[in-house]
Structure 1
Amino acid sequence: MRPNAWKDFLLGAEPGPWDARLGAMWKRVVAECGAADKLAAEHGIVWEELPHETKICLAVDTHHGEILDIAEAALRTRIEDWQREARYARIHRSMPEDLAGLVPADVGTLRAGLLTPKDFRTSDYSGKQLRMERLVRALTGTAAYLAAAHMIPAGLALDVVTTAPLDTETLAALRLPAPWSLVVHEPVTLAAAQADDTELTRLIEAGQCAGHQPAILGGLLAASDDGSLDTTAGFLLLTVLDGSGRRVWMLQHTAYGDHAGGRVLHGYAAQLAFARWLQPPTLPDLGPSSRSDSRSALARVVRSEAGQGGGWHHVRVLDFTPPSDDPPPERTEPTGTGTPLTTGTWRRAHWKPGVRIGVRDMSGRIIGPVYKSGAIEGVTFTRQPRFFPRTRIRPDLPLARTTTVYRPPH
């Protein structure tokens, strides 16, 4: 990517530095993970009273002259979760190099891969760059293990990442299902995420929306106390190949807004707020004689359908029904009074506000009419935003060329 391209993609025109925003998220994470309570109980330090407005508190001096590494303390509240997922990942499988064909159980492997044993050790914080890297890894690593895990099926990943900007009404209605939500899907290239409509069509036709280029794997989003989207900061899960050709991934802070990274975060938030998500499958009963923490018992879970389906990691999967493979009926006559169209096109995925949604009973069946006679708003249907995947417009017409054809003069 060109110089400053990462900054433009992630932060847009958001002015720097980002210390204050990350500091606010760090203050929240330390409190929510339980590290703040431990500081108070063991050292008499009140986390809320530290000077968070003027500095990011990664380490503090105790009343006895001891330096406490707060990042280490926060991460250690999640170390057992990390060790369990890392152990599961070793039994589960090696991740494919291109990260294609992900299953819900892979969420644990990706989350465990955000941290290394070194992250759980005390740091000397020598150098500004080290301090910022330490902050981001401790903040995102801890928050990822506080988060409810979600997975988007492969067939919908590109549409979710390239969703059109949300309208004001839909943005105001966003409510997240948990204080922290982790969303994971198969890689979608950064080029696709920031492409306009014409370029997106070209990339899709050329098969260039996945591959070895820098790509997005998901995101980490936070909710405010009332469930609304906390726009202080979000985090995109990015993947690249390092200098040795090894696949790595990391959570990177991202601003909300009308730039590529911000639009992706809003697309995730809309799915979390309005889409249907399947509950994690129930794991098989291992029987009274099996130790749940033994390798053999864990291997049985790993091999089970429920284990592959994310039951062990408590992953909720987006309940998405792909469009029909049957071709739509052809239109024989143009409608309207404008100039007749001669070519078709594609409309990118988008959310439409105020669509009627049928009310369902406990078994998932719609209880009454939605549009026909007898439909009653608030009883048989409600109105809320509805997601429309990328759709072919006027499929009866040929697509417009996306590549200029040059003909030599006669």
Structure 2
Amino acid sequence: MSVRNLLDAAFAGPSVPGARASGFTVTDLGSDAWKEFLLGPGAAPGRSGSWDEPLAVLWKRVVAECGAAQRLAAEHDVDWELAPHESKAVLALCGPDNVVVDVAAAALATQREQWERERRFARIHRRLPANLVGLVPADVGALRSGLLVEHEFRTSTYQVERDRAVRWLRALTGTAAYLAAAHMVPAPLALDVVTTAPLDEQTRAALRLPAPWSLITHDPVPLHAAEADDDELAALVEAGVCMGPEPVILGGLIAAQPDGRLDTTSGFLLISSLDAAGRRCWMLQPAAFGHHAGGRVLYGYAAQLAFARWTPPPVLPDPGPRPTSRSTLGRIATSEADRAGGFHGVRVLDFTPPPEEPPEERRAPAGSRGPLVFGTWRRAHWKPGVRIGIRDSDGRLVGPVYKDGAVEGLTFSRERRFFPRARVRPDLPLAPTTPVYRIPNPGAPGR
């Protein structure tokens, strides 16, 4: 399915709490609401400062990092650094003797072997759930290989102008996804990671990523949860954040600068929706970093990569003399190490669910205006400066953390910690939702 048709299908349906306009495409974002969700206010394709210029910068980088630039130089005597990347998409170059070189095909070719390997393994491992709920680290290969199809590796004549932007985006994101270190967020934390409160300036400045490119995946989270305010998010959580045909977020792709700092040139959200036939498809869609909904999600991913603890991928069993045979892949697919992400090198966010305890009954403090009647939800957030006790080689605290005698650097240190979404005063019921009634239309049939 083409990117254009996928996006048309993805954004045509209504979403809660508000409806979205249809007609969303790669080359023309159309709806101001969707443009603001992904890129923030004021950005638009085709004008100075629009999304295509940041993508051109990343495209220049991707072609160099994947090895295609070296092939262009060795096989066609083409210097990739001299191409005008920041002004337009460079999909094809003219080499010696007027030979036209398809740069997109050259970049994708560097990842074809790994794409075929993951696609084959995905067929052996298991069929993805229809709703993509309950993903495991071993499913990352199916998600990543699903970003590309066979014909995209072939050379193109680029005769149809409207297809050029589609091919450029697919080549850029498909190649970058295979350059990326894979990460997975456990299902219980997916909603919290996507809806994390905005980071403070000091936290954004402290972001340092573990790899040049990082791909994050998780269970689907509806897009309307990412854009909801606190009250709307609380209502969605209470309603179960039901997922239907509306578009969802499955993760993202972000880049780091050479020194590890976050590269805010552009990020990508892994967006999925049902197509016209009811099949679920997904793609990486450009999104700008910022204070808008899509930008907040990207910053939330970056914070997890920078500050959270990630479990390294386990070691796979010895593949034997035929590592790519079907029998070997089948044996790996049934191993516990593969389910934990060993085959795809997936790092999993270290998360231990809190114990389930009955809500504690609390009394109103003396001098208060009166007892609270309702509880509330607190959005997931990062908190800087949390005291962490320093421990010795046996795991025992070396001294007090908060009491007299606590000394920073000797008995405790300060770190940023992630606090998942939680009920404030869980012993109290939530406030009832306000009923909304539809005004009947007297002229409607049957009225």
Normalised by the shorter chain, which TM-score bucket?
Answer: over 0.9
Number of the residue aligned with 2:40? 12
Deviation at 1:405, TM superposition (A): 8.7
- Choose 395-404 or 327-336, whichever is displaced more: 327-336
- The match for 2:112 among 75, 79, 84 is 79
What is the DSSP-based 3-state SS (H/G/I as helix, E as strand, rest coil) of the residue aligned with 1:175?
coil
Call closer, same or farther: CA 1:373–1:334 in 2, change over 3 Å. closer
Deviation at 1:404, TM superposition (A): 3.6
Number of the residue aligned with 2:144? 111
Q: Is the 8 A contact 1:368 1:375 kept in 2?
A: no
| Percent of paired sites with the same residue | 64
C-alpha distance in 2 between matches for 1:335 and 1:94: 59
C-alpha distance in 2 between matches for 1:306 and 1:361: 31
Counterpart amino acid of residue 39 in structure 2? L
- The match for 1:310 among 314, 325, 341 is 341
Equivalent residues in 2 for 1:241-390, closer than 5 Å: 241-287=274-320, 290-334=321-365, 337=368, 340-359=371-390, 365=395, 368-369=398-399, 370-372=401-403, 375-390=406-421
What is the DSSP-based 3-state SS (H/G/I as helix, E as strand, rest coil) of the residue aligned with 1:257?
coil
Deviation at 1:214, TM superposition (A): 0.8
C-alpha distance in 1 between matches for 2:411 and 2:82: 51
Counterpart amino acid of residue 364 in structure 2? E
Counterpart amino acid of residue 392 in structure 1? R
- The match for 1:218 among 234, 247, 251 is 251
C-alpha distance in 1 between matches for 2:410 and 2:147: 45
Deviation at 1:286, TM superposition (A): 4.1
Number of the residue aligned with 2:260? 227
Counterpart amino acid of residue 189 in structure 1? P
Deviation at 1:191, TM superposition (A): 1.3
Counterpart amino acid of residue 201 in structure 2? T
- Choose 158-167 or 372-381, whichever is displaced more: 372-381
Q: Is the 8 A contact 2:364 2:372 kept in 1?
A: no
What is the DSSP-based 3-state SS (H/G/I as helix, E as strand, rest coil) of the residue aligned with 1:102?
coil
Number of the residue aligned with 2:85? 52
What is the DSSP-based 3-state SS (H/G/I as helix, E as strand, rest coil) of the residue aligned with 2:98?
coil
What is the DSSP-based 3-state SS (H/G/I as helix, E as strand, rest coil) of the residue aligned with 1:31?
helix
Give yes or no for the alignment of 1:403 onto 2:434.
Answer: yes
Call closer, same or farther: CA 1:302–1:375 in 2, change over 3 Å. farther
Number of the residue aligned with 2:234? 201
The number of aligned residues is 403
* TM-score w.r.t. length of structure 2: 0.86
Provide Cα deviations, 1:53-83, integer angstroms capped at 9, x if missing partner.
3322111000210000000000101111101
Provide Cα deviations, 1:353-410, integer angstroms capped at 9, x if missing partner.
11123456789x466344456654345543222111111112232211223499xxxx
Call closer, same or farther: CA 1:80–1:346 in 2, change over 3 Å. same
- The match for 1:38 among 71, 75, 78 is 71
C-alpha distance in 2 between matches for 1:319 and 1:144: 22
What is the DSSP-based 3-state SS (H/G/I as helix, E as strand, rest coil) of the residue aligned with 1:233?
strand
Counterpart amino acid of residue 145 in structure 2? A
C-alpha distance in 1 between matches for 2:244 and 2:370: 40
What is the DSSP-based 3-state SS (H/G/I as helix, E as strand, rest coil) of the residue aligned with 2:251?
strand
C-alpha distance in 1 between matches for 2:116 and 2:393: 37
Counterpart amino acid of residue 77 in structure 2? G
Number of the residue aligned with 1:67? 100
Unaligned runs of 5+ in 1: none
Q: Is the 8 A contact 2:392 2:398 kept in 1?
A: no
C-alpha distance in 2 between matches for 1:336 and 1:239: 52
C-alpha distance in 1 between matches for 2:195 and 2:53: 29
Q: Is the 8 A contact 1:213 1:240 kept in 2?
A: yes
- Choose 33-42 or 14-23, whichever is displaced more: 14-23
Equivalent residues in 2 for 1:107-186, closer than 5 Å: 107-186=140-219
Call closer, same or farther: CA 1:175–1:403 in 2, change over 3 Å. same
Number of the residue aligned with 2:129? 96
Call closer, same or farther: CA 1:54–1:12 in 2, change over 3 Å. closer
Call closer, same or farther: CA 1:127–1:362 in 2, change over 3 Å. farther
C-alpha distance in 2 between matches for 1:279 and 1:44: 41
Deviation at 1:14, TM superposition (A): 4.3
